[in-house]
A and B are shown apart, each in its own frame.
Chain A
Amino acid sequence: SQTIHQWPATLVQPVGSPLSLECTVEGTSNPNLYWYRQAAGRGLQLLFYSVGIGQISSEVPQNLSASRPQDRQFILSSKKLLLSDSGFYLCAWSPAGRSGYTFGSGTRLTVV
């Protein structure tokens, strides 16, 4: 069966520090991968998606970047965090083709 792992669960980082959140999927190959953010009191905003290794599409201009160095690994990064980067970050995967997502358990990021 397929599983998705996302870590860390919580993170407190100072403004200006770097960020690296990792997501891995097991039990499938060539998944579509997604990063979403839920800011306080807001819905789920799509940040990045990837349909293959090295293929990243950005949905909104921001202080973050994403990379997919391996088929089942998706990384969200920032060189210098801003206060506005605080939120709940969710990784998700779906099979290629029309299907719903399976989400990871999320990372609560607080920038102080």
Chain B
Amino acid sequence: DQQVKQNSPSLSVQEGRISILNCDYTNSMFDYFLWYKKYPAEGPTFLISISSIKDKNEDGRFTVFLNKSAKHLSLHIVPSQPGDSAVYFCAASAASGTYKYIFGTGTRLKVLA
């Protein structure tokens, strides 16, 4: 059972426009969420996080929104740049001794120049 889902495998956006990447989860115990960016043949790099006590977190061009009632989070990138082209993973964890993260299947973003 996939507890973290990214239903859009790919997304294309024009440079300068907004990119919106979506993520849904099923486990109501999840209370901390991360977004990672991954280039081919490299390890993922951390982008932004959000705790369930917040509904929004912003870092430069990246904003993450959390809707707990809908069990949905989204990553907004404004403005999108060609260097943002990568695979984006959302990840969720529940408060526990290990804080292990469950990752979604990823969304491939292509920003067109």
A residues within 8 Å of B by Cβ?
6, 32, 34, 36, 42-46, 49, 51, 57, 59, 88, 90, 92, 94, 97-106, 108
Contact = CB atoms under 8 A, between A and B. Distances in A.
A99 B99 contact: yes
Interface of B: 6, 32, 34, 36, 41-46, 49, 89, 91, 93, 95, 97-106
B105 A102 contact: no
Contacts of A94: 99
B106 A106 contact: no
A32 B99 contact: yes
The majority secondary structure among interface residues of chain A is strand
A51 B105 CA distance: 25
Given A42-B105, A100-B46, A34 B41 contact: no
Nearest to A106: B43
Contact of A36 (B32, B103, B104, B106): B103
Contacts of A103: 36, 43-45
B97 to A, nearest CB: 7
A51 B44 contact: no
B102 A106 contact: no
Contacts of B42: 105-106
A94 B101 CA distance: 11
